[in-house]
């Protein structure tokens, strides 16, 4: 069997996330439907992660097995012609039979985008989170350093989500402001459920002055979800890249 790796960009606004579920439309379902049309057979398409409803991706990775003889680089064009306009295959490539988009991932980069200013934006509103309060950039940058490294991030995962371990490594966390837009770029070896959104929500508490930058250390130590900030909305989140 051939193993085909895809890189996918999607606008998650109208989807209930990546993973196939009953009674709602997901990106996985749309990609599997396109694969079935193009190859003539159903193949399960394995994603690098579950993304939540409303979350976007510029570099989502997934793979599927097929007997189809279509040259691997042609899958891109063929699939795109059967995908809706909010999903697009950026790249298709045949990979080693053992390649698994989730298990083999070494890390991911997410970007969370906030727009500040006096009024909520109309244009591009589905790709950002509008936050009207003033934010202290220096304090947020200072706070962001405390997330770096390997920690038990239990305080930064959605309550009720069960995983073997909540230990993760954050390799990079950069906060950049350009006019009204603030981007939080975060690279880690893996992320717990809602982890990026809770980290950003916690940094906003620092930005408005409710938490001191050093308080991040206490929150991490506490392993207590209720100590951290809110989970910010899905619309601002985009999976930029998956590393192998």
Provide the annotated binding site for substrate.
110
Do residues 19 and 28 touch, judged by C-beta distance below 8 A? yes
Q: Where in 22-41 is the site for a second copy (CB under 8 A)?
A: none
Taking CA atoms, 87 is separated from 18, 80, 244, in Å, by 11, 8, 22
Taking CA atoms, 186 is separated from 21, 71, 119, 147, in Å, by 28, 35, 27, 10
- The reply on whether position 11 binds a second copy by CB under 8 A is yes
86 is catalytic: no
- The reply on whether position 111 binds a second copy by CB under 8 A is no
- The reply on whether position 62 binds a second copy by CB under 8 A is no
User: Of all helices (H) and strands (E), which one includes residue 221?
Assistant: helix 215-222
Residue 231 DSSP label: P
Residue 230 DSSP label: P
- The reply on whether position 142 binds a second copy by CB under 8 A is no
Binder to a second copy among 37, 90, 137, 176 (CB under 8 A)? 90
- The reply on whether position 211 binds a second copy by CB under 8 A is no
Binder to a second copy among 125, 180, 210, 230 (CB under 8 A)? 125
- The reply on whether position 5 binds a second copy by CB under 8 A is no
- The reply on whether position 122 binds a second copy by CB under 8 A is yes
What is the C-alpha to C-alpha distance for residues 90 and 10, in angstroms, rounded to an integer? 10
- The reply on whether position 52 binds a second copy by CB under 8 A is no
Binder to a second copy among 4, 10, 195, 207 (CB under 8 A)? 10
Q: Where in 214-243 is the site for a second copy (CB under 8 A)?
A: 238
Cα angle value 71/75/79 (rounded, 5°): 155
Binder to a second copy among 123, 160, 178, 179 (CB under 8 A)? 123
The dihedral formed by the CA atoms of 109, 146, 225 and 181, expressed in degrees to the nearest 10: -50
Q: Please give the residue ranges that form the binding site for a second copy (CB under 8 A).
A: 9-11, 56, 58, 76, 80, 85-90, 118-125, 127, 238
Cite the active site residues: 52
């Amino acid at each position: 069997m051939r193993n085909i790796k895809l890189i996918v960009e999607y606008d998650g606004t109208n989807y209930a996330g990546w993973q196939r579920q009953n009674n709602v439309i997901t990106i996985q379902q749309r990609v599997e439907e396109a694969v079935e049309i193009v190859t003539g057979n159903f193949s399960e398409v394995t994603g690098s992660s579950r993304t939540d409803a409303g979350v976007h991706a510029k570099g989502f990775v997934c793979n599927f097995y097929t007997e189809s003889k279509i040259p691997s680089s042609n899958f891109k064009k063929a699939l795109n012609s059967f995908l809706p306009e909010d999903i697009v295959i950026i790249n298709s490539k045949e990979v080693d039979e053992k390649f698994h988009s989730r298990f083999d991932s070494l890390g991911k980069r997410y970007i969370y985008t906030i727009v500040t200013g006096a009024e909520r934006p109309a244009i591009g509103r589905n790709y950002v989170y509008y936050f009207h309060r003033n934010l202290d950039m220096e304090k947020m940058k200072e706070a962001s350093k405390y997330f770096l490294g390997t920690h038990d991030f239990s305080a930064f995962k959605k309550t009720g989500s069960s995983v073997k371990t909540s230990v993760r490594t954050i390799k990079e966390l950069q906060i950049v402001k350009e006019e009204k837009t603030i981007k939080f770029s975060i690279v880690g070896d893996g992320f717990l459920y809602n982890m990026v959104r809770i980290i950003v929500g916690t940094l906003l508490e620092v930005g408005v002055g409710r938490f001191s930058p050093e308080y991040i250390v206490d929150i991490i130590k506490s392993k207590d979800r209720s100590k951290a900030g809110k989970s910010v909305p899905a619309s601002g989140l985009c999976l930029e890249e998956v590393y192998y």
